[in-house]
Amino acid sequence: MEGQRLGGRYQLEARIGGGGMAIVYKARDLILNRQVAVKVLRPQFGTDEDFVNRFRREAQAVASLSHPNVVGVYDVGQDGDTHYMVMEYVEGSTLKEVINQRGALLVEEAVRIAVQICDALDHAHQNKIIHRDIKPHNILIGNNGRVKVTDFGIARAVTSTTITHTNSVLGSVHYFSPEQARGGITAEKSDIYSLGIVLYEMVTGQLPFSGESPISVALKHLQEPLPEPRQVKPDIPQSVENVILKALVKDPLLRYASAKEMLLDLETCLLPERLNEKKINFPVDDEQTRVVPIITREMLEANQSRQSLSRARFEQEEAEESPQRKWWVKPLVWLGAISLFLVLAFFGFNFLLNIFPSVPEVAVPYVEGTPVASAEKKIREANLVPKIIEEANDKYDPGMVIRQDPAPPMRLKENAIVTLYVSKGQQAIEMPNLVSLSRSMAEETLRQKGFTVTEESFIEKEHENAPPGQVIGQEPSAGEQVVPGKTVVKITVSKGKKYVEMPDVRGLSVDRARVELFKVGLAVADELIEQPSYTTDKAGIVLSTHPYDPKMQVPVGTAIPLTISNGQYPSDAKVGTAPIYVEMLPGETAEVKILVTDARGDNQLVFQETISESKEFDVPLVLSPERNATIQVRKHNQPIQTITIQYSSLP
DSSP string, 295-321: --HHHHHHHHHHHHHHHHHHHHHHHHH
- What is the per-residue pLDDT for 627? 86
- What is the per-residue pLDDT for 298? 46
Torsion of CA 559, 565, 571, 574, to 10 degrees: 130
Quickly state the pLDDT bin for 20 (edges 50, 70, 90): low
Q: pLDDT tens digits for 148-165? A: 998 875 444 333 333 333
Cβ 484 vs Cβ 426: under 8 Å: yes
Quickly state the pLDDT bin for 357 (edges 50, 70, 90): low
Question: What secondary structure letter does DSSP report for 549?
Answer: -
* Catalytic residue, candidates 122, 133, 405, 598: 133
- What is the per-residue pLDDT for 207? 93
Q: What are phi and psi of 592, to 5 degrees?
A: -115, 130
Cβ 236 vs Cβ 301: under 8 Å: no
What's the alpha-carbon Rg for the chain, to the nearest Å?
A: 46
Query: pTM (2 decimals)?
Result: 0.46
Residue 442 CA, distance from chain mean position: 21
Residue 133 annotated as catalytic: yes
For residue 158, give the nearest of 51, 264, 59 by alpha carbon.
Answer: 51
Q: Is the model's pLDDT at 168 over the cut of 60?
A: no
- What is the per-residue pLDDT for 291? 42
Q: Is the model's pLDDT at 147 over the cut of 50?
A: yes
How far is 3 from 12, CA to CA, in rounded Å? Answer: 5
Q: How many other CB atoms are there within 10 angstroms of residue 133's CB atom?
A: 26
562 CB-near residues (< 8 Å, 6+ apart): 505, 510, 513, 524, 525, 528, 529, 542, 544, 545
Cβ 474 vs Cβ 482: under 8 Å: no
- What is the per-residue pLDDT for 186? 67
Average pLDDT rounded to a whole number, residues 550-573 = 91
- What is the per-residue pLDDT for 187? 78
Average pLDDT rounded to a whole number, residues 334-349 = 69
Q: What are phi and psi of 316, to 5 degrees?
A: -65, -45
Q: What are phi and psi of 179, to 5 degrees?
A: -70, -30
Better-predicted residue by pLDDT, 511 or 291: 511
Average pLDDT rounded to a whole number, residues 175-195 = 83
Q: pLDDT tens digits for 446-505? A: 988 878 888 889 998 888 788 888 999 999 999 998 888 788 999 999 988 888 899 999
Average pLDDT rounded to a whole number, residues 41-53 = 75
- What is the per-residue pLDDT for 348? 65
Altogether, the residues listed in the chain come to a count of 651
- Show the beta-strand stretches assigned E in 89-185: 92-94, 139-142, 147-149
How far is 149 from 138, CA to CA, in rounded Å? Answer: 6
- Show the beta-strand stretches assigned E in 463-503: 471-475, 481-482, 490-496, 499-501
Average pLDDT rounded to a whole number, residues 94-115 = 92
CA distances, 229 to each of 134, 267, 502, 628 (Å): 20, 19, 76, 100
How far is 14 from 21, CA to CA, in rounded Å? Answer: 18
- Show the beta-strand stretches assigned E in 257-398: 361-363, 385-391
- Write the DSSP string, 170-215: GGGGGG--HHHHTT----HHHHHHHHHHHHHHHHHSS-S---SSHH
In Å, the largest CA–CA distance within the chain is 178
- Write the DSSP string, 558-604: PEEP-EEEES---TT-EEEEEEEEE---TT--EEEEEEEEETTEEEE
Adjacency order of strands within the sheet including 401-405? 385-391, 417-423, 401-405
- What is the per-residue pLDDT for 630? 94
Quickly state the pLDDT bin for 651 (edges 50, 70, 90): confident
**Pairing outcome for strands 82-88 and 73-79:** antiparallel
Q: pLDDT tens digits for 582-601? A: 999 888 999 999 999 999 88
- What is the per-residue pLDDT for 169? 40
Question: What secondary structure letter does DSSP report for 222?
Answer: H
Q: pLDDT tens digits for 617-647? A: 999 999 999 888 999 999 988 999 999 999 8
Angle at which helix 107-126 crosses helix 238-247, to 10 degrees, equals 30
Over the chain, what is the mean pLDDT?
83
Q: Is the model's pLDDT at 530 over the cut of 90?
A: yes
Q: pLDDT tens digits for 376-430? A: 999 999 999 999 998 877 778 889 998 888 888 778 888 888 999 998 877 788 9
Q: Is the model's pLDDT at 167 over the cut of 60?
A: no
512 CB-near residues (< 8 Å, 6+ apart): 505
**Pairing outcome for strands 10-18 and 34-41:** unpaired
CA distances, 371 to each of 382, 399, 566 (Å): 17, 6, 90
Average pLDDT rounded to a whole number, residues 170-192 = 77
Express as a percent the part of the chain with pLDDT over 90: 43
- What is the per-residue pLDDT for 349? 58
Q: How many other CB atoms are there within 10 angstroms of residue 431's CB atom?
A: 21
